[in-house]
Amino acid sequence: MGKEIVKHFRLTIEAAEAFSKLAEQEGMKESDYFRLLITQKPNDYPELRSGLKSLINEVNRIGVNINEIVYNNNSHLYRVQDKNRLIAYMRRLNETVERAVEDFGYHENTDHQ
């Protein structure tokens, strides 16, 4: 989609310098950084995309193992070791999600509180 509309904004010198610095820190042109700020799409953040991909892969691997344990349980082949493995997988899943939250932050929507 072409960029057909031009908008002009007034900023203080301090705000303009801060904006330029933030865009530079992200390695982006100011116009690209502005569009990023107004869209706030996860795809705009390469490190977030990579982190989410890793998280999804980890959750999928853990899910496969959990499904095996559930299958064994439904087949009446459930053992105490399966219960221990299930607890370990669930703990690992929780730790993985906690790491993702620490790495990428958690921004609670405060509009509904």
Higher pLDDT, 46 or 66: 66
Q: Does the pLDDT at position 107 exceed 60?
A: no
pTM for the model:
0.43
Q: For residue range 18-50, what is the model confidence (pLDDT) as tens digits?
A: 999 999 998 889 988 888 888 776 555 667 777
Cβ atoms within 10 A of the Cβ of 39, count?
A: 9
| 2-37 as b/e: b if 16+ CB within 10 A | eeeeeeeeeeeeeeeeebeeebeeeeeeeeebeeee
Q: Average pLDDT, whole number, for the chain?
A: 79
